[in-house]
Structure 1
């Protein structure tokens, strides 16, 4: 019975390692992107329920800066600057981690930033203890930082083909492919990329499904719902990191 038990335990570990491995396939890219898109949707919904802010919507924050500067509401403009700054810092930090890990051991380059994201998500789970304005701003910055890290991580993994938090870009690409398909009815030289369209639709559905789950979870559990999201990220990344450090 013991070898069978080890085999069963080994399967999820091998699957997790395949998701973040440095030798990648289109299938592993899509599987990881789907998971991360769902987490992004859930975290985005969590930001709204817990903080009243959509934390992956950088276009909205840029618009808020302009609007609030016009009406001289410098406080809200400053909050928008904080959110964008945290997102950019998260993307930059993820890039630093990936490049550092690539030089040390290529097997860690994608697992490491995902593990750090899981750690920050656990920090966000404790955001409910902050009832002051400063505490809420910390929670907002923390979640925007995570979103920036995640978007940069999947961008690096997929070679800039996939961005899990950038729903506007995905929906735009869906519209482009639909337009190509419509024009293809008139000209056979233009064809829809069905595979690309399928990937985009899958990611958008994952983002929306994650948002539904996140809205329900954060609505009932508050900040604590960040814990299962953190565990997913850690479950994907830690097998590779622990395997590297243990020599397996």
Structure 2
């Protein structure tokens, strides 16, 4: 049942991947600048968790484990919302996770702006909130694209690009439309993530902590794009019987 709803064109996946990767790049660079921690993925956190356990730093190990769990919870939350609401209202199913992500970023941005004392506990809590938000985004994009789009980390993407580059050394693979479309998607995600990070760095130098609110505005654009896409797909779906009727009528006229 899920695959029936998740059929998407390459163009739609590129648009989704570019928009969400741009925001993920912004969030990750912001977290590195302010908190000295990556929040768009948990690969490094697993290494830190192992290190803290081996050194006997069990409190820090527990904190890092909590970060990983929150990223997991974000993925779980977005997916359970989509699979339970999509049949009733696809737009609502897609927008609720993004709204939750926006709320998380607003909480972090507002707290940093007015209350942040730069204590270790505050930093740990802010990173926790951002990891949950990024888990939500990654889970949402992966779910609605049938796992074709994952935009909050680039390790797997870079691996896929390397594999594709090797495949393209053979002419038959260079002419394969499916591989070419995958290449376009991965390049779009990588470029958007990088551009988002660069933009976040420049914006932070200009307006400091207000950069969180810029990211939230951009995520609202993502919601607007998804509403437009779903609405257009519904209109096209409604018009298909009409177009088929016209085609059949034309064919009948030509036959006569």
- The answer to whether the superposition gives a TM-score over 0.5 is yes
Q: CA deviation at 1:201?
A: 1.3
Distance 1:190 1:150 in 2: 32
Distance 1:216 1:75 in 2: 35
Distance 1:223 1:77 in 2: 28
Alpha-carbon contact 2:10-2:185 (below 8 Å) kept: no
Distance 1:222 1:83 in 2: 25
Counterpart position of 1:208: 194
Counterpart position of 1:168: 155
Which structure has the greater CA radius of gyration? 2
Unaligned 5+ runs, structure 2: 232-256
Counterpart position of 1:7: none
Q: CA deviation at 1:210?
A: 0.7
- Give the one of 10, 13, 22 matched to 1:29: 13
Alpha-carbon contact 1:47-1:54 (below 8 Å) kept: yes
Q: CA deviation at 1:189?
A: 5.2
Q: CA deviation at 1:73?
A: 2.3
Counterpart position of 1:139: 126
Counterpart position of 1:155: 142
How many residues are treated as equivalent by the alignment? 219
Mapping for residues 9-88 of structure 1, pairs under 5 Å: 24-88=8-72
Q: CA deviation at 1:49?
A: 0.8
Distance 1:136 1:94 in 2: 25
Distance 1:33 1:190 in 2: 23
1:75-117 CA-to-partner distances (Å, cap 9, x unmatched) read 3322321211111111111112212322432332212212221
Unaligned 5+ runs, structure 1: 1-20
- CA 1:105–1:203: 2 relative to 1, 3 Å: same
Q: Give the match's secondary structure for 1:164.
A: coil
1:199-226 CA-to-partner distances (Å, cap 9, x unmatched) read 2112111111111111222344333211
Distance 1:175 1:151 in 2: 22
Distance 2:88 2:180 in 1: 39
- Asked if residue 223 in structure 1 is aligned to residue 225 in structure 2, the reply is no
- Cα-Cα RMSD: 2.5
Mapping for residues 171-210 of structure 1, pairs under 5 Å: 171-182=158-169, 184=170, 188=171, 190-191=173-174, 193-210=179-196
Q: CA deviation at 1:190?
A: 4.8
Distance 1:24 1:111 in 2: 17
Q: CA deviation at 1:23?
A: 7.8
Structure-2-length-normalised TM-score: 0.77
